[in-house]
Amino acid sequence: MELLIERKKVSSALGKSNLPGLDYTLNPYIGCSHGCIYCYARLYSDPRIRDNWGKIVVVKENIVDVLAKEVRRKKKGIVGLSTITDAYQRIEAKEGITREILRILLESNFRTSIQTKSSLVLRDLDLLISKLEIVDVGFTITTLEDSVAKVIEPGASPPRERVEALEKISAEGIKTWIFLGPIIPGVSEESFSEIVEIAKATKSLLYYDKYRTKPFMSGKAKEFAESAKKIDWKVVSDKIERLCRSKGVEIAKAFDDL
């Protein structure tokens, strides 16, 4: 997919978080070239980016300098990196903004929670290891089928590559987690048992969340949304919880309304 790269200056780096467990959000980019067909993050972008989701990425070109000043005056807290983009999407390999952000946050002792669908996070393993007591890394895994992921998460690392990255990070003693969400109707269930096994093997906490219907959804995403309406999510939730209990995997709902 051809990607249009734009640049803009920003006046702030750390945003106040309304998400559970996070004090701040930090998003180095606007838009996300992973282009997940169900992505809710597009709702927080302007219409041009929202309607071309996955095809336009805006680089916050001065965010490193802005952050360097903010960490000196802002109260310490937990930073979610990132919440409405993927900080390790492919442009990051060239820009290196996320690496600088991570370095500043960890050197300034801001606890940092990374969520990604990209194995590029391994590039920063040295930084993660240097401050492993204040960092955690989560991988979103909705399916383990690479061919399915290619359709629903076209720009992200294939799921098996994410699993390998998770294993490497966990092996270094870094706290890890898996986000099984959104649970894709007729897709994710195939991978439940194996994902739980991976969580066990990597000592990862497993978060999960249901598929949420949004007005922007079309094509395959809308088909999933229609199926999601017919699902008894309590049954799904019970199944995951049972599986996790049987394997001794720690589990948490991402949101309470499931």
Q: Which spans of this chain sit near ligand SF4 (rule: CB under 6 A)?
A: 32, 34-36, 39, 41, 85-86, 117, 153, 156
Q: Which is nearer to ligand SF4, 20 or 40 (CB)?
A: 40
Q: Which is nearer to ligand SF4, 4 or 129 (CB)?
A: 4
Distance CA 207, CA 49 (A): 28
CB of 85 to ligand SF4, least distance (A): 5
Q: Judging by DSSP bridges, how do beta strands 56-60 and 29-30 pair with one another?
A: antiparallel
CB of 118 to ligand SF4, least distance (A): 8
Q: Which is nearer to ligand SF4, 39 or 105 (CB)?
A: 39
Q: Looking at the chain, list the stretches that DSSP marks H as alpha helix, in order from N- to C-terminal side.
A: 47-51, 63-73, 92-95, 97-107, 125-130, 146-152, 159-171, 192-201, 219-230, 233-247
Q: Which is nearer to ligand SF4, 74 or 212 (CB)?
A: 212
Q: Could you give the angle at the alpha carbon of 176 between the alpha carbons of 173 and 177, nearest 5°?
A: 160
In the chain, what are the helix, strand and coil shares in percent, each to the nearest 5? 45, 15, 40
CB of 111 to ligand SF4, least distance (A): 21
Residue 175, classed as helix, strand or coil, is strand
Reading the block at residue 231, the tokens are: 């699902």
Q: Which is nearer to ligand SF4, 35 or 159 (CB)?
A: 35
Reading the block at residue 202, the tokens are: 């990597």
CB of 244 to ligand SF4, least distance (A): 23
CB of 82 to ligand SF4, least distance (A): 8
